[in-house]
Amino acid sequence: MKNLLLGICFIMIFFIIIIWLLPGTSETHCILQHDFNNTRYIGLVKKKYIDFNEHSYPIVEILNANDSIIRLNLVLERNQIFNKIKVGDYIDKPKGTNTIFFMKHDKKEPLGQVDFGCN
């Protein structure tokens, strides 16, 4: 009985330490928001899909002016921007903002604001 209680206490202390060491979800959300806001995304949407090999992350692939593919990962995004973006859209997300624009008839129109839930 004493060994059982000792084992349970050890397991509880182990999990408390693990939870304490891991970053909180709000910290993760803030890191995602900060990284997104400080990056410029501009180009043609070539593909969008759910990446089942990477924990079912919603991915948008953008072909930029250098003919490079930029992968935009929208995991934990709250405003459903992934569902608003369409293949063939030309999008522009200026650095320093969370608003994505798309080009329509040579005019920029807001598609929406990306929100990762950073409080």
Residue 110: per-residue pLDDT: 95
> In 1-119, which residue ranges form alpha helices assigned H by DSSP?
2-21, 25-37, 81-84
Query: What is the per-residue pLDDT across 76-92, written as a single tens digit (0 to 9) for each?
Result: 999 999 999 999 999 99
Q: Which residues contact 98 (CB under 8 A, 6 or more apart)?
A: 33, 36, 37, 113, 114, 115
- Beta carbons of 45 and 88 less than 8 angstroms apart: yes
Whole-model pTM: value is 0.75
Is 90 exceeded by the pLDDT of residue 34?
Answer: yes
Q: Which tokens is 97 given? A: 């903002």
Is 80 exceeded by the pLDDT of residue 16?
Answer: no
Residue 64: per-residue pLDDT: 94
Query: What is the per-residue pLDDT across 36-80, written as a single tens digit (0 to 9) for each?
Result: 999 999 999 999 999 999 789 999 999 999 999 999 999 999 999
Residue 25: per-residue pLDDT: 55
Residue 20: per-residue pLDDT: 62
